Amino acid sequence: GAVVSQHPSWVICKSGTSVKIECRSLDFQATTMFWYRQFPKQSLMLMATSNEGSKATYEQGVEKDKFLINHASLTLSTLTVTSAHPEDSSFYICSAKGTSDYEQYFGPGTRLTVT
Amino acid sequence: GQNIDQPTEMTATEGAIVQINCTYQTSGFNGLFWYQQHAGEAPTFLSYNVLDGLEEKGRFSSFLSRSKGYSYLLLKELQMKDSASYLCAVRDSNYQLIWGAGTKLIIKP
C-alpha cells in the first residue's frame, strides 16, 4: 500500500520558537494532503487541507498565520508551527489522498511538546 | 450540525466477537470509513462502505445502512493485538471526513 512519512516523529521545543513538520508521500503523488491534530483520548481534528501549488484551506478556528502550511510539490507538504506555546503541544498527523477515491493514507504522526 | 456517535469504551474477551456501532448525522454522505488506532500511533485504514450492506475482510466486517444513518464494525476471533481505538468517519457532501471520537476496545484474556 501507499506510504506516507512524517519527520520528525517527535520534537521538543521552547516556547516562542518555530517548528517545521514534513509530510511526504513516498510512492505516489498526492494532490491533496490533510493536516490533523489530536489531543490525548480525543478524535482527530482537521486543521487544514492543502492542494499542491495553491494556498491551504484552513478549518474554522485554526490560525493560518500560526500554522503555516506549504504544499510545494506532489510529494511534500510542510506544517510550520510559529511562535509555539505549550498549548500547541499535541500529536500532529498528516494524510495524503492518492488516486483511489476512498482511501487516505496517514503518516505516523509527530508528537510536539512545547516547554 | 454534523455528528457522529460511537461508544466510548467496550470490553471483550479474547477469541470472542464484538460489534462496535456508529450512528451519524452529516451534511450529505459520500462513504463511511473505519480506522484502527493504537495508542501513540496514527490511524490505519480498516474498511470503507458507500453502499448498504456488509463488507467482509478477514476477521473484520463492516455494515452500513444509509437510511438509518448507522454502521457497525464487527471483529471476530478477537486477539490481544486488537486492543485499540476504533474510529468511525463519514465523508460529507464536501468530501471532508467527519470523525467520531473513537471507541476504545479492551481485550481481556
pLDDT level of residue A51 (50, 70, 90 thresholds): confident
pLDDT level of residue A44 (50, 70, 90 thresholds): confident
Q: What is the mean pLDDT of residues A25-46?
A: 86
pLDDT level of residue B61 (50, 70, 90 thresholds): very high
Among B residues 60-89, those touching chain A with beta carbons less than 8 Å apart: 87
Which of B31, B50, B101 is the closest to A42 by Cβ?
B101
Q: Does B106 touch chain A (CB under 8 A)?
A: no
Does B97 contact A104 at a Cβ distance shorter than 8 Å? yes
Residues A25-35 pLDDT 10s: 998 888 889 99
Does A46 contact B96 at a Cβ distance shorter than 8 Å? yes
Asked whether the beta carbons of A110 and A13 are under 8 A apart, the reply is no
> A103: which chain B residues are within 8 Å (Cβ-Cβ)?
45, 48
pLDDT level of residue A101 (50, 70, 90 thresholds): low
Q: What is the mean pLDDT of chain B?
A: 93
- What pLDDT is stored for residue A102 in this prediction? 65
Nearest chain B Cα distance for residue A19, angstroms: 20
pLDDT level of residue B91 (50, 70, 90 thresholds): confident
End-to-end CA distance of chain A: 37
Which of B33, B41, B50 is the closest to A108 by Cβ?
B41
pLDDT top residue among B106 and B42: B106
Collect all residues with Cβ–Cβ distance below 8 Å to B85 and sequence separation of at least 6: B36, B37, B38, B39, B102, B103, B104, B105
**Phi (first) and psi of residue A88, to 5 degrees:** -85, -10
Q: Does A111 touch chain B (CB under 8 A)?
A: yes
Q: How many CA atoms lie within 13 A of B58 on its CB side?
A: 3
Does B42 contact A108 at a Cβ distance shorter than 8 Å? yes
Residue in A43, A92, A97 to test binding to B, most B beta-carbons within 10 Å = A43
- The C-alpha atoms of residue A76 and residue A71 are separated, in whole angstroms, by 6
- What pLDDT is stored for residue A89 in this prediction? 95
Between the ranges A100-109, B76-85, B86-95, where is the mean pLDDT highest? B76-85
